[in-house]
Amino acid sequence: MRLKHIKGSEEVMLTSPHITQEPQTLRGAWKRPGEKLFLEIGMGKGQFITQKASADPDNIYIGIEKYSSVMLRAVEKQEQLMLPNLRLIRVDAEQMGEIFAPGEVDAVFLNFSDPWPKDRHAKRRLTSPQFLARYAQILAPGGSVEFKTDNMALFDYSIESFRSSGWEITALTRDLHADPVLSAGNVMTEYEERFSSKGNPIAKLIAVPPLFTTDNNML
Ligand SMILES: C[S@@+](CC[C@H](N)C(=O)[O-])C[C@H]1O[C@@H](n2cnc3c(N)ncnc32)[C@H](O)[C@@H]1O
C-alpha cells in the first residue's frame, strides 16, 4: 500500500496519551477478570475498531497499526470519543508475542489486509502460516480469527493457509453483504465501504486454531 507521509505523525506517536507506549509492559495484564480482549491488526484509520469499542463498552478493544501516518487518523477519532475501553498501539504485528501472553486474546480481526501479491513477500501477508502461528499462541481457548477482504486471490491463499496450518474454518462467505447470517451486526471498515461501493463483493471467513497437547503436538 502506498502511503502519504504526514509531517509530525511520528511525534504524535511518541507523545499522544491515546497511544499505549511500551505495550510489552502490559503483557498478560490487558484485561480484568470477566473482560474479553479483541484486536484488529492493521486497523488503518481505525473506523472498525473504534465502532466495535463504542458498541461494547464492557470489553477491551485494541487497534494495532505499523504506520504512523494512517494511525494518526485513529488517534484523532479517539481524541474526540475518549473511549475508555479502546487502546491504540503502533507496532509491527510480528511483535505480537512480546505484547500479548499466551491465551490472552479472545478474537483477532483482520480487515482488508495488504495482499502482498509477489510470492517472495508471502510471509508478510497477515494470513501467512507464520502469522497464523503467532495468532494461535495468543488466542484463548475458543478464540478465533475473523478475516474480511475483497481480494479473492488473497482469500483463496488464506483459506489454504488456514487449512494447511490445521485451523478449522467455521464460517465462510464470498458475498458477505448478501449473507443474512454473517452480515448480521457487520461493522464496515474504511476499505470495505470503498470497495463495496464500487460493487466488489466482500469475502469473510472465521477460523479457530488447532488444539495442541501439552507437548505441543496437534490433536
Ligand atoms: C489495506 S489497509 C486496511 C485498513 C483497515 N483495516 C480497513 O479495512 O479499512 C491494511 C493496513 O494494515 C497495516 N499493516 C500491514 N501489515 C501490518 C503489520 N505487520 N503490522 C501492523 N499493521 C500492518 C497497513 O499499514 C495498513 O494500514
Where do the domains of the chain lie, and which CATH numbers do they carry? 34-208 (3.40.50.150)
Average confidence (pLDDT) over 81-105: 97
Q: What is the pLDDT of residue 150?
A: 98
> What are 32's three cell numbers?
480484568
Residue 43 has pLDDT above 90, yes or no: yes
Is 92 one of the catalytic residues? no
Give the range among 8-17, 32-41, 101-110, 159-168 with minimum mean pLDDT: 8-17
3-state helix, strand, coil in the chain (%, to 5): 35, 20, 40
% residues pLDDT > 70 (the chain):
95
Which of residues 89 and 2 earns the better pLDDT score?
Answer: 89
Q: Which atom of ligand 1 is nearest to the CA of 40?
A: 6
Which of 39, 52, 64, 66 to mutate for ligand 1's pocket (most ligand atoms within 8 Å of CB)? 66
pTM: 0.95
Give the model confidence (pLDDT) of 76-87 as tens digits.
999 999 999 999
Q: DSSP characters for 135-193?
A: HHHHEEEEEEEEEEES-HHHHHHHHHHHHHTT-EEEEEES-GGG-TTTTTT----HHHH
Sheet holding 37-41, edge to edge: 86-90, 60-65, 37-41, 105-111, 139-149, 203-208, 168-173
> What are 33's three cell numbers?
477478570
Paired with 208 in beta bridges are 168
Per-residue pLDDT band at 213 (split at 50, 70, 90): low
Give the range among 75-79, 151-155, 203-207, 208-212 with minimum mean pLDDT: 208-212
Give the model confidence (pLDDT) of 117-134 as tens digits.
999 999 999 999 999 999
Surface-to-core class of residue 99, CB atoms within 10 Å of its CB (0-12 exposed, 13-18 middle, 19+ buried): buried
Which of 38, 51, 61, 112 to mutate for ligand 1's pocket (most ligand atoms within 8 Å of CB)? 112
Looking only at the bridges linking them, the beta strands covering 139-149 and 168-173 are: unpaired
CA of 107 to the centre of ligand 1 (A): 17
Distances in Å between the alpha carbon of 88 and those of 32, 42, 159, 171, 175? 18, 11, 29, 28, 30
